[in-house]
Structure 1
Amino acid sequence: MKTEQVGDSILETWTVDEVQEAFDKNEIVLIDVRTPQEYMFEHIEGALLMPLAFFKAAKLPGQTEKRIVFHCGSGVRSEKVARASIEAGFAKIAHMEGGFGAWKGAKKPYIGTNMATGAPHQVS
């Protein structure tokens, strides 16, 4: 994990392995900031959707029990949202380095779309 001091807050950048381990242990809330279309085509099972275009930091869940980790396609949008969350007063916020592309590249499980039927299916 990489950390960056941003004012009085800390921005964390997590690897896909760190995200998967914490997510599997139910220690984090994983929030996908891609578009609804991107999410419907393929997404990490159990990740919440809060698209960048509609992002409102005040609507985020509290962090008393679980850390919030954002992800997008490549890590650019999630870092932008993480920084906006810090500006809104969150003390510790994280995003996933490399985004969903890195998740898929590391062969992590996700929900994809069967191109023959259009139905969602588990990809391992």
Structure 2
Amino acid sequence: MQSPTYTALRGAIQVEHDVPEDVDNAVKRLFSELLLVNAIDETDIGMIFFTMTSDLHSRNPAASLRKFFPKVSTTALFCMQEAEIDGMLEKVIRILIVTTYPLGRHGENVYMDGARVLRPEFAR
């Protein structure tokens, strides 16, 4: 039996306002796009890490994800605060998804809305 190859998919999105609805919608859009462009199912995911800037307080992105994607209810989710750096972009949620792919397949990262400036080569 061949060992699985693990792939890490990254993404980020800037939230317009620190209100639960905006956080929910941002997480939903970002996660949906990552699933779509990488042709993966929620059940293919082993774990998901979130970071969020310190100016976001209204909702934990993991709670937003579980609200819209019930298949991740048994997936390990972890959320932490982004390190504060002078000049950092505000109201940003980042995601790191760890999944398995057939050998040779590479994941496509997604950076959306205002977070496109962080990684223009992955902008959507």
TM-score range (shorter-chain normalised) is 0.3 to 0.5
TM-score (norm 2): 0.33
Higher relative contact order (CA 8 A, sep 6+): 2
